[in-house]
């Protein structure tokens, strides 16, 4: 069975990778492409982006047959607008956007009662395997270890820390029976005093064309454990998102994540 895809942000770095990855997968077919109003890509065929099909880039989600799945790695405001439209058209939505406000997340939850949504801070299968490793490490190292999360991304990334880093912190906190918001130190400057017990610290680096590096450090007396994931290409994100799109097509409404897609 072929899954029909619509790619949002088609002219961007992630959009082009999604198009290229979809073109190499015989079980999916790109039937639509979107970009922001005013984009120079509007009206251009995605064939020029490596999609392998002659679909023109549009600035509005409309006229798509039910059953297609929108894959969206854009900006929070755009993603919510797309989800509003998906709920009217009956389209499933795969969202890789990060940086949502609490109000936007609540709206996403509401709309996921109408159409199925897969939302994840990172669609890499490897990163999702790291989440599971962190659960185990957090339980084993719950006492006597300070936890720091360091992430680095390219100079164009607009939210900090990354959604993946935040999710890593949430996974650790939840595995230890706590809440990240009660433990997070998002930045440090000046005379900070001693490190609080049970804190989860974050450090954010930006520069160059780094796709995404994440390291979680458990620092104890006489030893340090580091769990690291490094992305050399966006292809892992694209492959995971397309896997999620194939999984969510035809599902009942609900807000799902990559744990659901990967089977628990």
Per-residue pLDDT of the chain (264 residues; tens, 9 = 90+): 899 999 999 999 999 999 999 999 999 999 999 999 999 999 999 988 877 888 999 999 987 777 899 999 999 999 999 999 999 999 999 999 988 999 999 999 999 999 999 999 899 999 999 999 999 999 999 999 999 999 999 999 989 999 999 999 999 999 999 999 999 999 999 999 999 999 999 999 999 999 999 999 999 999 999 999 999 989 999 999 999 999 999 999 999 999 999 985
The residues annotated with a catalytic role in the active site are 153, 157
Do 250 and 146 fall into the same domain? no
> What is the C-alpha separation between 264 and 259, in angstroms, rounded?
5
Q: Using an 8 Å Cβ cutoff, are 163 and 98 in contact? A: yes
In which region does residue 26 sit, left (phi positive, over 0), alpha (psi from -120 to 50) or beta (all else)?
alpha
Helix (H, G, I), strand (E, B) or coil at 229: strand
Degrees, nearest 5: CA angle 224-213-191: 60
Do 7 and 109 fall into the same domain? yes
CATH of the domain at 220: 3.30.360.10
> What is the C-alpha separation between 165 and 182, in angstroms, rounded?
16
Do 169 and 252 fall into the same domain? no
Do 218 and 176 fall into the same domain? yes
Do 34 and 85 fall into the same domain? yes
Do 24 and 107 fall into the same domain? yes
Query: Which structural domain, as residue segments, surrounds residue 164?
Result: 125-231
Do 44 and 131 fall into the same domain? no
Do 48 and 175 fall into the same domain? no
Look up the pTM and report it: 0.83
Degrees, nearest 5: CA angle 8-84-165: 60
Q: How far is CA 71 from the centre of its chain?
A: 11
Do 214 and 171 fall into the same domain? yes
> What is the C-alpha separation between 162 and 173, in angstroms, rounded?
17
Q: Using an 8 Å Cβ cutoff, are 57 and 41 in contact? A: yes
> What is the C-alpha separation between 18 and 30, in angstroms, rounded?
10
Do 18 and 92 fall into the same domain? yes
Selection from 65, 57, 60 nearest residue 78 by Cα: 60
> What is the C-alpha separation between 15 and 32, in angstroms, rounded?
12
């Amino acid at each position: 069975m072929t899954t029909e895809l619509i790619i949002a942000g088609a002219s961007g770095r992630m959009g082009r990778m999604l198009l290229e990855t979809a073109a190499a997968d015989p079980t999916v077919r790109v039937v639509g492409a979107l970009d922001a109003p005013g984009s120079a890509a509007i009206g251009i065929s995605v064939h020029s982006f490596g999609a392998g099909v002659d679909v023109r880039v549009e600035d509005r989600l409309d006229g798509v047959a039910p059953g297609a799945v929108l894959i969206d790695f854009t900006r929070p405001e755009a993603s919510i607008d797309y989800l509003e439209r998906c709920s009217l058209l009956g389209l499933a939505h795969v969202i890789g956007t990060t940086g949502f406000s609490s109000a936007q997340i609540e709206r996403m939850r509401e709309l996921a009662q109408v159409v199925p949504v897969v939302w994840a801070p990172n669609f890499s299968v490897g990163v999702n395997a790291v989440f599971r490793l962190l659960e185990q490490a957090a339980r084993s190292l719950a006492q006597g270890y300070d936890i720091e999360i360091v992430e680095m991304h390219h100079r164009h990334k607009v939210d900090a820390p990354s959604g993946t880093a935040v999710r890593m912190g949430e996974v650790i906190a939840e595995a230890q029976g706590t809440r990240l918001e009660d433990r997070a130190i998002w930045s440090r400057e000046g005379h900070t005093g001693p490190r609080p017990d049970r804190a989860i610290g974050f450090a954010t680096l930006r520069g160059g064309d780094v796709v995404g590096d994440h390291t979680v450090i458990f620092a104890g007396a006489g030893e340090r454990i580091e769990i690291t994931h490094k992305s050399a290409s966006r292809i892992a994100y694209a492959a995971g998102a397309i896997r999620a799109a194939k999984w969510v097509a035809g599902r009942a409404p609900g807000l799902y994540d990559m744990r659901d897609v990967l089977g628990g």
